[in-house]
Amino acid sequence: MGRYIIHRLVSMMLTLFFIITITFLLMHAIPGGPFTRERPLPEAIIKALNEKYHLDDPIWKQYLDYWKDILRGDLGPSFQLANRTVNELIADGFPITARLGIVSIIFTVLVGVPMGIISALRQGKWEDYTTMFIATLGVTIPSFVLATIVIYLLGVVFKIFPVSSGSLTRPVQYVLPVIALSGYSLSFIARLMRSSMLDVIRQDYIRTARAKGLTEFKVIYKHALKNAIIPVITYLGPLAAGLLTGSFVIEKLFSIPGMGEYFVNSVGNRDYTMIMGSTIFYSVILVVMNFIVDIIYVIVDPRIKLIGTKEG
């Protein structure tokens, strides 16, 4: 296991290296720059700005300089929000986004997994149909529509919840964004859970467990769930990375000052340092999450071996 972890860490570093390099090159390859304006800036100003941000250096030098900076943990100044560094912006937005993300992940798992289990155990009964109907609605209504309608109905018409969630200081501000943010993933998890649960409860060892006279709860909890939850865990890796770093649509619609908007806005504004900063931040969380997922595989199902090839 120790060797595996070292291998894995090295390959994670390489992954990040490729992501950074590819993003850097793509970003400079697309048209437009941070100083593209409807009213083009005078050349001398562009020149001065390029000098200030070292955009007049050859691209390879910018690339190497960028590495020097990030190895020191410095993501550089933002172009879009003058006078602010990318580190500062992420440090400011991430805690808010992460709070919402964690609540959403917990909500998704706590609701999605039981929903899947219920509908699998009661396959073809009303519980199954109800939960799966809800789950289907969750994926078919796009989050921007769901969010807008929920804001209008619960915020404007019935005035139960605040329309803009702000920095999420009160619990009540979480409700609407969490619902809108979790819709799709919750449905996905419920369906995955139902499906793999159905696979598992028909397996011989479950029959054996039942035959031994174990209680149904024990059968489900101790034997079935362990194997059935693998696809859910798989999906949770990228999902957690996504939720922790926020959603553009949800943060925009609920006016949450998190970091989710940076992923889209930075590209729109050609805010080079922010494009890189947000990408690196997301990627680090992503590779770590996927690493954790693989470790959880082994813990949940000891038969899974990540090391060694299958030639024998």
Partner 1 sequence: MTKKISILLVCMLLVVTLFTACSSSSSDNKPITYNMGANPKTLDPQLNNAVEAGSVIVHCFEGLTRKDQNGQIQPGIAKEWKMNEDGTKFTFYLRDAKWSDGKPVTAHDFVYAWRRAVDPATGAEYAYQLWYIKNGQAITEGKMSPEELGVKAIDDKTLEVELEAPCSYFLQLTAFPTLFPVRQDIIEKYGEEWANKPETYITNGPMVLAEYSLNDKIVLKKSDTYWNKDAIKAKELVFTMIDDPASELSAFEAGEIDFADAVPAEEIPRLKEEGKVTIKPSLGTYFFCLNVEKPPLNDVRVRKALALAIDRQYIIDNAAKNFALPAYAWVPPGMPDAEKGSDFREVGGNYIGEDYQKNVEEARKLLAEAGYPNGQGFPELTLLYNSEGGHKTIAEAVQEMWKNNLGINVKLDSQEWAVFQETRTQGNYEIARHGWLGDYVDPMTMLDMWHSKSGQNDARWKNSEYDRLIELAKKSGDQKKRMEAMHKAEKILMTEMPIIPVYYYTDVYLINPKIKGFYYDPLGFKVFLYATKE
Partner 2 sequence: MQVQIDPSLFEPIEVEADVAGEIVRPSLTYWQDAWKRFKKNKPAMIGLVTIAIIILSAIFVPMFWPYDYATQIRGHESQGPSWQHPFGTDSLGRDLFIRVMYGARISLSIGLVASLINLTIGVLYGGVSGYIGGRVDNIMMRIVDILYGVPLLLYVILFQVVLEKPIEQAFETTFLRVFKGIGSDLILIYIVLGLVYWLDMARIVRGQVLSLKNQEFVLAAKAQGAGTWRIIWKHLIPNAIGPIIVTVTLAIPSAIFTEAFLSFIGIGVSAPMASWGTLASDAYRGFRSYPYLLFFPAAFICITMIAFNLIGDGLRDALDPHMRK
Residue ranges that bind partner 1, judged by CB under 8 A: 30-33, 36-45, 47-49, 52, 80-84, 89, 92-93, 107, 110-111, 114-115, 117-118, 121-122, 127, 148, 151-152, 155-156, 159-164, 166-167, 170-172, 175, 215-217, 220, 252-255, 257-258, 261, 265, 268-270
Contact flags string 90-119 toward partner 2, x per CB under 8 A: ------------------------------
How buried is 69 (Cβ within 10 angstroms: 0-12 exposed, 13-18 middle, 19+ buried)? Answer: middle
Cα–Cα distance, 295 to 180 (Å, whole number): 30
Q: How far is CA 137 from the centre of its chain?
A: 21
* Residue 38, contacted partner among partner 1, partner 2, none, CB below 5-8 A by kind: partner 1
Judged by beta carbon, residue 132 or residue 179, the one nearer partner 2 is: 132
Binding status of residue 234 toward partner 2 by CB under 8 A: yes
Query: Which residues touch 17 (CB under 8 Å, ≥6 apart)?
Result: none
117, 197 Cβ separation under 8 angstroms: yes
Nearest-angstrom CA–CA distance, 49 and 223: 63
Q: What is the spatial distance between Cα 71 and Cα 294, in angstroms, rounded to a whole number? A: 27
- Does position 199 interact with partner 2 (CB under 8 A)? The reply is yes
- Phi, psi for residue 247 in degrees, rounded to 5: -115, 130
CB 159: neighbour CB atoms within 10 A? 9
Residues near partner 2, by CB under 8 A: 7-8, 11-12, 14-16, 18-19, 22-23, 26-27, 29-31, 132-133, 136-137, 139-142, 144-145, 148-149, 152, 184, 187-188, 191-192, 195-196, 198-199, 202-203, 227, 230-231, 233-235, 237-238, 263-264, 267, 275, 278-279, 282-283, 286-287, 290, 293, 297, 301, 303-310
